[in-house]
Amino acid sequence: MGNNPSSFKGGSRPVEKVSWHNAVEFCQKLSEKTGKIYTLSSESQWEYACRAGTTTPFYFGETITSELVNYEGKIGQTTDVGSFPPNAFGLYDMHGNVWEWCLDVWHNNYNGAPTDGSAWESGGNNSQRLLRGGCWYGISWNCRCAWRDYIYAGVHFSYVGFRVVSSAPRS
């Protein structure tokens, strides 16, 4: 907190150039500061949030366009959050802009994955962490709701950022 490492700075731009470790540390500090619990999403939480009740490759349908998503380097950098329409849950930039770290360890498939929506933090390759969403320079295929990828947890790239989630209080 207090330091923005991004290549593309701006008050409404996503923070990028953060490692998985940096993102987790930010969530911990935010939790301490606010008294609420913040974390990275699990892979299953991320996909549920991205799809917003849809079953198509993208939350807006079958085909991606540069009017709906920042991808394939058409703009050449990140864009302000909210530059493109939100999904049915009101979430912006679930496709493109920056890859988003998930809490999960990378596994090649879903065999043995948790079925309760929690992050899969055991087994797999602990040095590689899951990414979802695609990014501003990536191809359209990588922006699909179902596409999953990984990268080493310690990297800092201008196309990798994160999204925080918080649990709603139980009533």
Is 12 within the bounds of a domain? no
Tokens at 99, concatenated: 């890859």
Is 58 within the bounds of a domain? yes
Is 10 within the bounds of a domain? no
**Cα dist from 29 to 36, 37, 38, 126, 170, whole Å:** 10, 10, 9, 22, 23
**Cα dist from 130 to 36, 82, 105, whole Å:** 24, 24, 6
Pairing of strands 164-166, 38-40: antiparallel
Instruction: Give residue 1's pLDDT.
Output: 63
Instruction: Give residue 64's pLDDT.
Output: 96
**Cα dist from 128 to 19, 97, 117, 163, whole Å:** 11, 21, 20, 18
Instruction: Give residue 11's pLDDT.
Output: 86
Is 109 within the bounds of a domain? yes
Is 57 within the bounds of a domain? yes
Low-confidence ranges of the chain (pLDDT < 50): none
Q: Give me the residues paired with residue 101 across strands.
A: 131
Is 56 within the bounds of a domain? yes
CATH code for position 131: 3.90.1580.10
Instruction: Give residue 167's pLDDT.
Output: 82
Is 5 within the bounds of a domain? no
Instruction: Give residue 170's pLDDT.
Output: 66
Give me the domain span that covers residue 57: 20-166
Is 13 within the bounds of a domain? no
Please state the domain count of the chain.
1
Quote the CA–CA distance of 91 and 52 in Å, as a whole number: 9
118 CB contacts (<8 Å, ≥6 apart)? 42, 44
